[in-house]
């Protein structure tokens, strides 16, 4: 962690950093192969944490790969869901292993803010395919929706090797997914709306898993 910063506190770099020589006058250029010579020359304007400044994209992915969580996310995308970008960005922030998109391959990447570049993504044609993936990788599927029979996320014990599955605006999690899941968890609500945004629900549920299973010593 950089001197002077605390957990998830970054030095102010609203538009990234400039060339190495400008940011570190008199300091020899780093020679590690994780560094990208072009970024060292031109500056690094990407949305990455300070620890990854001037690093090659592949080196960043490889570094996250060494400490990804046993948490997978799946989102059903049978219509057209503009929340997937938000889900991918949050999954990246929590070092989720893989985001599984079920149904349509096309999704609106704008909300991902380029984080999809560092996040493993897999497509599945249907719900059966993602269920088979979970079984083959020893992952327990937990559906997330506020449907009858669901258990409160606030008190549920989430499995460590876990695949959290979300539905889409409108239909919610399909009956097939709920039938294949070990349980369905709901987020407690207190107002008038029937449900919250799927991207927000995904953030809340991912963080519930983080609170139960992540080693906070490893957070930035
Ligand atoms: C906007 S909801 C739509 C479905 C919802 N069951 C309904 O009756 O309107 C889209 C998705 O967001 C997630 N979601 C929204 N609110 C939730 C809540 N209170 N608890 C759990 N998941 C929720 C679920 O994954 C859900 O499938």
Measured CA distances, 106 to 11, 77, 87, 118 (Å): 36, 9, 15, 18
Domains and CATH numbers, the chain: 20-65 (no CATH), 71-218 (3.40.1280.10)
Query: Locate tokens 């968890």: which residue?
Result: 185
| Cβ pair 75, 172 in contact under 8 A | no
- What token pair was written down for 187? 């987020």
Query: Locate tokens 């327990």: which residue?
Result: 140
Q: How far is the centre of ligand 1, averaged over its atoms, from the C-alpha of 88 (Å)?
A: 17
Alpha helices in 105-161 (DSSP H): 127-136
Alpha helices in 24-162 (DSSP H): 37-42, 57-65, 84-93, 127-136
d(CA 220, CA 214): 13
Give the tens place of pLDDT for each residue, 73-101: 999 987 767 889 999 999 999 999 999 99
Beta strand pairing status for 71-77 and 183-186? Answer: unpaired
- Does the pTM exceed 0.85? yes
Q: Is the CB of 208 under 6 A from ligand 1?
A: no
Share of the chain above pLDDT 90, in %: 82
Q: How far is the centre of ligand 1, averaged over its atoms, from the C-alpha of 114 (Å)?
A: 26
Give the tens place of pLDDT for each residue, 4-61: 455 565 666 667 999 999 999 999 999 999 999 999 999 999 989 999 999 999 999 9
d(CA 30, CA 134): 41
């Amino acid at each position: 962690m950089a001197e002077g910063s605390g957990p998830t506190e970054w030095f102010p770099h609203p538009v990234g950093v400039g060339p190495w020589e400008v940011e570190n006058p008199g300091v020899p250029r780093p020679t590690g192969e994780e560094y990208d010579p072009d970024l060292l020359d031109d500056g690094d304007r990407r949305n990455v944490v300070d620890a990854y400044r001037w690093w090659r994209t592949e080196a960043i992915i490889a570094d996250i790969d060494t400490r990804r969580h046993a948490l997978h996310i799946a989102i059903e995308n049978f219509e057209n869901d503009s929340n997937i970008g938000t889900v991918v960005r949050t999954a990246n922030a929590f070092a989720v292993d893989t985001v599984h998109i079920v149904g349509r391959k096309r999704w609106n990447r704008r909300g991902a803010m380029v984080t999809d570049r560092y996040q493993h993504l897999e497509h599945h044609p249907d719900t059966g395919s993602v269920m088979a993936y979970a079984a083959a990788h020893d992952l327990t599927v937990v559906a997330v929706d506020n449907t009858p029979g669901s258990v409160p996320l606030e008190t549920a014990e989430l499995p460590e090797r876990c695949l959290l599955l979300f539905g889409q605006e409108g239909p919610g999690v399909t009956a097939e997914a709920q039938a294949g899941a070990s349980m369905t968890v709901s987020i407690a609500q207190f107002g008038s709306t029937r449900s919250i945004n799927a991207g927000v629900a995904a953030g809340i549920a991912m963080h519930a898993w983080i609170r139960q299973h992540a080693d906070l010593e490893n957070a930035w």
